[in-house]
Amino acid sequence: MEKIPVTFSTNTFDYELIARKKRKALYRQVQNGKVVGYEVHTIRIRDNQEILPSNEDFGMFGWSYDKKEDAVEKFEPLRCNTKTN
């Protein structure tokens, strides 16, 4: 199975995986070398591949935070029951 990336870039941001628990991921969002936010993602499976939420999925499978503490608060209790979508 193809796993989610540890690092990736999209738009003007670089993302670094800083925590993962089963089917949830916490990424640090960096722009021009400076941390600008954090994202919590529910990892879903499609065609034997782990996928991250698209922009349209945010609010249901992805959440964005300015502060690491807020992102960790969402990440820790998050339950991920969705296998495909």
Considering all CA atoms of the chain, what is the largest pairwise distance in Å, rounded to the nearest integer?
35
Rounded Cα distance, 49 and 52, in Å: 10
pLDDT band at residue 85, thresholds of 50, 70 and 90? very low
| pLDDT-above-90 percentage for the chain | 87
Rounded Cα distance, 55 and 85, in Å: 15
In the numeric block, which tokens belong to residue 4? 């989610």
Helix or strand or coil: residue 55? helix
- Taking a C-beta distance cutoff of 8 angstroms, is the pair 38, 61 a contact? no
Identify whether 81 is part of a domain.
Answer: no
Q: Kindly report, residue by residue over 2-43, the tens digit of the pLDDT.
A: 999 999 999 899 999 999 999 999 999 999 999 999 999 999
Number of structural domains, the chain?
1
Which range marks the domain in which residue 71 is found? 7-75
